[in-house]
Chains A and B, each alone.
Chain A
Amino acid sequence: MTRLRASKQRLPTTLNAALAVLPVSLLIACAGSGSKHPAPAAAAPPILHREEVQWLERATFGLDSATLAEYRRLGRKGYLDRQLDGHDDPLPPPIATLIGGLGASRADPMRMLADVNAQNKSINAMPNGPDKEQARKAFNDGGNKLANEAIRRELLHALYSPSQLKEQMVWFWLNHFSVYQNKANLRWLIGDYAERAIRPHAFGHFRDLVLATLEHPAMLQYLDNAQNAVGYVNENYARELMELHTLGVNAGYTQQDVQQLALVLTGVGINAGNPPRLKPEWQKLYRRDGAFEFNPARHDFGEKTLLGRTVGGRGYAEVENAVALIVRQPACARFISGQLANYFVADNPPPQLVARMAQMFQRTDGDIAAVMRTMLLAPEFDASLGGKFKDPMRFVMSAVRFAYDGRFITNTRPLVNWLNGLGEAPFGHPTPDGYPLTELAWASSGQMSRRFEIARLIGSGNAGLFDPEDGAAAVGGGFPQLSNRLYFETVEPYLAVATREALDRATSPQEWNTFLLSSPDFNFE
């Protein structure tokens, strides 16, 4: 694999020196955009080493000044400790306010589904005609609005939470336990799925994460387990639970195991209404948590063998035991470690690194934070820096964080459009495998030209990122200042020669931005 050609230029050691070598064309370009140049600080901190910059880029959704300052203050290990210690740094107040207004989209699934059912019932009872169509449309618009709000919440978190590593994990797990908003009633459920099933467990124990997704109505609808019942077995979720969520496809389980696990999972489903009437012996086995239900009347009580073992327990205890058995398999530790390394380290991560992560996973009973620490402090991680192609989510997030450093956008719709255009729409992957994590899947010829087109859209600055989302009057503005202080501190010193030449050939600030965002320097980290 060809590596980027590093600039042969002498590295300026301070920001002031960096500004001193600013090309004339760029100064013109910046002046042309009508923007103020950041005034160089009197005592600028020393330029970070390239490896430090790249490490921080990889551990975040891209750099902004606040992140950089925190890293400088704490150092790598201190920064990592703080990212992994389980606390959530507060969001910047304007973002907290924005997110606070999105509460409806994370309402409890019980309420959501009761509402959906009631609406459906009243619409179905209407006579056919324009009124019914209108009601149906209003119903769908309501669902779309909630889904958009859920996406907005996740994107604002990803852009502005100081807990950047956690935000990446939230994205990673949402993708690992991928659900698709356009199936069944998922538009009403994804907000709660992200906030209650995924986010609290992002750095927790893997088993809890699996159970949280297993019990969530979004997953139960998406992979059809809500319909899995004794005599009406549906093995869709059982298969993906082992293949995609825990063990990986070549882990040695068989078709027989899939069928047995499907039987274990019979009766695990959804109920947004009253509890069912059950015989006394079943009543004590009934489980309910919001819209999640384990209904013994729908469960197959036969004996089951999974992965060579009899599944112990009765009723829902069987499900918990089966999950515990599955996540304790060495194959699970290997698979999850491999996926993490795929996303954070390299398309073909060093096997010895994955092995150490898997050991840590097993030793700690699936402690995700411990596995992440092993990975992020490994020499193999350092060795991989600069070689990972950004997937569309990282590309778009890092571009916005960088371009509007510290200035908070208010409208996330353009981001969603860009992600759609690049093929990585949030909650938009129809199949349960989630989006691919490797360059192979994102850097084909068609995708590269598409990425340059999106780079142009981002770089041209009339995307409406600062307009209100409710359709009120546009405020416009917001030309992306890519040639900012952060650029001179972290990008410019290390630019490849070819990129520098391209930037020099730009004839407008828009073009300059487009080239920088399209460059190998910006697209690899």
Chain B
Amino acid sequence: MNRRHLLRLGGAALLSAGVSGRLFAAPPNGPRFLLVFLRGGYDSTNLLVPYSSSYYYEARPNIAIARPDAASNTGALALDADWALAPAVRDTIGAMYVKRQVAFIPFAGTDDLSRSHFETQDSIELGQPTSATRNYRSGFLGRLADTLQGSAAGMSPISFTDALPLAFEGTSTVPNLSLKNVGKPVFDERQAHILSDMYAGHHLEPAVRDGLDLRQDVAKEIAEVMRAANRSAINTKGFELEAERMGLLMRDKYRIGFIDVGGWDTHVGQGSAQGNLAGNLASLGRGLQMFSQSLGAEWNNTVVVVLSEFGRTFRENGNRGTDHGHGTVYWVLGGAVNGGIIAGEQRLVSRSTLFQDRDFPVLNDYRAVLGGLYRSMWGLSNDQCAQIFPQFTPIDLRLV
């Protein structure tokens, strides 16, 4: 069966379940979506390396990643004649790329030009037209969840973070829980009831109820799965461990997930093939590989998008780092995505094609890209897409 067809079928089955209402209340193979937000503006130019551009090597005399060498299996991995993948993720993301489970979208981003982390993160998470007055109570994942809730059961969203991200703001409360440390639930059922009852009728009632429920559920779920698999999580730690737990929960319970990863604001000494940035990328790569494994067969029904608020300056700055830029590289991963390609509209990388003689231009707006993915994954109508990303027409990059 065609991989693309498989993923879409999952979506179609789910939608028809919603219509008939009973037959397939929550089919196990419905599509799943995880958004990984790299906060701080990661230096995408040293992840997806434009190695055919001599200007890249001129602009980054100290931090450029060396051109791929066919004889080496530890250096940058050539993806095509123009782009290579950073050595730090060669064994993880690179291996998945070879299996066609990863695609990269360079020249991606937003038309928000503030170059402020916080401003741009907010505006991306809200997903509203950039020039419009902002409604901070409505994020695009919240609207996605609402849209899907209307058509099918079992679309439960979750944020794997300590605080709820703006992306999940919306009409209904979305549960959130960081999976960094999952201990035994602290309250028994009687105590949990009493705590909930104190908030009856209060505007925080849904948050209180969800929080207490989720805490109990997740602890149980993780414990059961670990027991069933007859293994403990001793071998994994940090983001890998978190990602493994995320995979388990999305395999069994949740369909739309969010996680953020920090530490990408590399103004000083970011390193090259090794160093600061490489270490962060390597950890992210291992985590995503672990996530894919713990989803099991459901990895074929899952799409992960990795994005960041902006790219960084094309040239290195005075401190072997990079400053805030504009266009960046998004990653799209999944067991059944049409990976192994560099997708979306592109330009030859040279000084003359830089935006404001400074950074990558944005040719692929995140709203159009994500809207296109959602439309394919869940078979959404144009109206539904317009609810999620008002005033943006989805583009079909034929990745799912």
Residues of A within 8 A of B (CB): 1-2, 4-5, 224, 227-229, 231-236, 239, 243-244, 249-250, 255, 258, 423, 430-431, 433, 440-450, 452-453, 456, 496, 498-499, 501-502, 505-506, 511, 514-515, 518-520
Residues of the A chain whose Cβ atoms lie less than 8 Å from the Cβ of B175: 445-446
* Given A227-B318, A232-B318: A444 in contact with B197 (beta carbons within 8 A): no
* Given A2-B201, A229-B318, A452-B195: A442 in contact with B163 (beta carbons within 8 A): yes
Residues of the A chain whose Cβ atoms lie less than 8 Å from the Cβ of B203: 1-2
Residue in B202, B323, B356 whose CB lies within 8 Å of A520: B202
> Chain B CB within 10 Å — which of A234, A443, A445, A505 has the most?
A445
Once bound together, how far apart are the Cα atoms of A206 and B69, in whole Å? 56
User: Which of B92-100, B112-120, B363-371 has 4 or more CB atoms under 8 Å from chain A?
Assistant: B112-120
Verify if B268 is at the interface (C-beta below 8 Å from A). Answer: yes
Residues of the A chain whose Cβ atoms lie less than 8 Å from the Cβ of B200: 498
Residue in A228, A441, A448, A505 whose CB lies within 8 Å of B207: A448
Q: Mark B143-167, 1 if CB is under 8 A from A, else 0.
A: 0000000000000000101111000
Verify if B79 is at the interface (C-beta below 8 Å from A). Answer: no
Verify if B27 is at the interface (C-beta below 8 Å from A). Answer: no
Residue in A243, A441, A511 whose CB lies within 8 Å of B116: A243
Does A446 lie within 8 Å of B319, measured CB to CB? no
Once bound together, how far apart are the Cα atoms of A356 and B223, in whole Å? 56
Closest chain B CB from A424 CB (angstroms)? 10
Residue in B115, B201, B208, B317 whose CB lies within 8 Å of A239: B115
Closest chain A CB from B123 CB (angstroms)? 10
Residue in A431, A442, A443, A446 whose CB lies within 8 Å of B117: A431
Does B323 lie within 8 Å of A236, measured CB to CB? yes
Residue in B118, B208, B263, B318 whose CB lies within 8 Å of A445: B208
Closest chain A CB from B24 CB (angstroms)? 28
Does A449 lie within 8 Å of B214, measured CB to CB? yes
Does B198 lie within 8 Å of A515, measured CB to CB? yes
In chain A, what residue has the closest Cβ to B200? A498
Residue in A236, A449, A450 whose CB lies within 8 Å of B267: A236
User: Which of chain B's residues 157-204 have a Cβ closer than 8 Å to chain A?
Assistant: 159, 161-164, 169, 173-178, 186-187, 191, 194-195, 197-204
Does A519 lie within 8 Å of B198, measured CB to CB? yes
Verify if B375 is at the interface (C-beta below 8 Å from A). Answer: no
Nearest 4 pairs between A and B by C-beta? Answer: A232-B318, A449-B211, A444-B164, A445-B211
Q: List 28 A-B contacts (CB under 8 A).
A: A228-B318, A236-B267, A239-B115, A239-B116, A255-B356, A431-B118, A433-B117, A440-B169, A444-B163, A444-B176, A444-B207, A445-B176, A445-B177, A445-B206, A445-B208, A445-B209, A445-B211, A446-B162, A447-B176, A448-B204, A449-B214, A449-B215, A450-B211, A452-B187, A452-B212, A498-B197, A518-B198, A520-B204
Once bound together, how far apart are the Cα atoms of A258 and B164, in whole Å? 31
Verify if B265 is at the interface (C-beta below 8 Å from A). Answer: yes
Once bound together, how far apart are the Cα atoms of A340 and B215, in whole Å? 34
Residue in B118, B136, B173, B202 whose CB lies within 8 Å of A433: B118
Does B186 lie within 8 Å of A456, measured CB to CB? yes
Does B164 lie within 8 Å of A511, measured CB to CB? no
16 further A-B contacts with Cβ under 8 Å, apart from A440-B169, A519-B198, are: A2-B203, A227-B268, A232-B317, A430-B262, A430-B263, A444-B164, A444-B211, A445-B177, A445-B207, A445-B211, A446-B161, A450-B211, A452-B187, A501-B197, A502-B194, A515-B195
Verify if B257 is at the interface (C-beta below 8 Å from A). Answer: no
